[in-house]
Structure 1
């Protein structure tokens, strides 16, 4: 077996917020990971769908980004964005 070639292999401290809430259309179980790794953006994991995205304010403003990243409807994305605007 050849030697493994790492592009990077860092151990960093993170702060993680676990939050679960009910919207009008869906339940959301999220892990929001804060680190200096993503240029001020946060890693948002949807634990129900096993989907994640690196999200900043600019991503929340981009039309269709949340819907695409989490494979959710426009109504569900509106609920999720409403929360994410508070924490991102």
Structure 2
């Protein structure tokens, strides 16, 4: 086997928040991970849907971003957007 070529291999301190809440139509089980790695953005993991996205204020304002990233309906994405805007 050829020698492994790493692009990076870093260890960082992170702040992780696990939160679960129920919206009008769906339940959200999230892990929100903050570190210096992504320029102040938060790594949002949807643990039930097995999806994730790196999200900042600009992403929350982008039309259709949460719907696409988490495969949500417009209403469910708005509930997630409302929650994340309080945290991010």
TM-score by length of structure 2 reads 0.99
Aligned equivalent of 1:9:
9
Which aligned pairs between 1:55-74 and structure 2 lie closer than 5 A?
55-74=55-74
Deviation, 1:25, is 1.1
Count of residues in correspondence between the two structures: 88
Whole-Å separation in 1 of the counterparts to 2:26 and 2:68:
16
CA deviations 1:43-62 (Å, max 9, x no partner) are 00000011000000000000
3-state secondary structure, aligned to 2:49: coil
RMSD: 0.4
**Shift >6 Å, 4+ stretches:** none
Gaps of 5+ in 2: none
**Is 1:80 the counterpart of 2:80 in the alignment?**
yes
User: Offset of 1:4 from its aligned partner?
Assistant: 0.0
Distance in 2 (CA, whole Å) between partners of 1:15 and 1:3 is 33
TM-score by length of 1: 0.99
Q: Distance in 2 between matches of 1:79 and 1:18?
A: 17
